[in-house]
């Protein structure tokens, strides 16, 4: 009778519920690599679209909220003349807070809304004031500051790896080439214990 009770208890333990993943617990951290399109979708004919790459470190707090710290390289272009374009590059550091909005029961999907502070440096045409046709650029290199609003979705492939999709509206000041940039793209997040 005792063996039957043990077998019955083991069967109940195995079949009456699912073990849930241990994700986004306080104290866990993650490293994320992102690649984004900037100000539109780049095609061979686009002259003003750009791209960005970033690396971020996140620390999870209570309720799956997180602090994130990172750096990003953003490259955009300003159309010039018939077919030319002038490169504008930004090198920035970022500190932000991501608020957990929703997740599914199995903890496979998480949606975050976030806000961050940005600071860095912008260079126009890599510091070269003269264009190939002899024209002079009046926009100069500058230190920039500002912030960003972020909406990000995480799709966990396992307890240690997640694919991310994000939309980010970035606003910077201190420069003369434009203050707002819309970014969207994908990334990979690696969870560290």
Q: What letter would DSSP give residue 20?
A: P
Structure-model confidence comparison of residues 70 and 26, the more confident one: 70
Inform me whether the pLDDT recorded for 47 exceeds 80. no
> CA distances (Å), 15 to each of 8, 9, 12, 18, 104, in order?
11, 10, 5, 8, 21
Residue for token digits 């126009």?
124
Mean pLDDT of 61-90: 89
CATH T-level topology, domain 2-192: Porin (2.40.160)
Inform me whether the pLDDT recorded for 101 exceeds 60. yes
Lowest mean pLDDT among 20-29, 140-149, 181-190: 20-29
Q: Residue 1 has what pLDDT? A: 66
> CA distances (Å), 82 to each of 47, 79, 85, in order?
10, 8, 9
Q: Is 163 in contact with 5 (CB distance < 8 Å)?
A: no
Q: How confident is the model at residue 91 (pLDDT cuts 50, 70, 90)?
A: very high
Mean pLDDT of 131-147: 86
Rounded CA separation 157/138 (Å): 49
Q: How confident is the model at residue 4 (pLDDT cuts 50, 70, 90)?
A: low
Q: What is the pTM of this model?
A: 0.81
pLDDT tens digits along 15-36: 544 444 577 788 899 999 999 9
Q: Residue 18 has what pLDDT? A: 46
| Residue boundaries of the structural domains of the chain | 2-192
Share of the chain above pLDDT 90, in %: 54
């Amino acid at each position: 009778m005792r063996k039957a009770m043990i077998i019955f208890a083991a069967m109940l333990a195995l079949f009456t519920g699912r073990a849930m993943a241990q994700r986004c617990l306080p104290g866990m951290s993650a490293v994320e690599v992102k690649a984004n399109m900037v100000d539109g979708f780049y095609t061979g004919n686009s002259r003003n679209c750009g791209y960005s790459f970033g690396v971020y470190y996140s620390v999870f707090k209570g309720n799956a909220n997180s602090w994130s710290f990172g750096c990003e390289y953003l490259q955009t272009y300003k159309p010039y003349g018939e077919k030319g374009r002038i490169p504008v590059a930004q090198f920035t550091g970022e500190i932000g807070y991501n608020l957990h909005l929703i997740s599914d029961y199995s903890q496979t999907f998480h949606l975050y809304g976030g806000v961050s502070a940005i600071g860095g440096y912008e260079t126009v045409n890599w510091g070269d004031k003269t264009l190939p046709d002899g024209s002079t650029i009046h926009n100069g290199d500058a230190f920039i500051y500002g912030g960003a609003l972020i909406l990000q979705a995480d799709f966990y492939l396992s307890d240690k790896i997640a694919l991310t999709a994000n939309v980010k509206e970035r606003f910077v000041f201190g420069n003369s080439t434009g203050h707002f940039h819309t970014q969207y793209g994908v990334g990979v997040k690696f969870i560290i214990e």
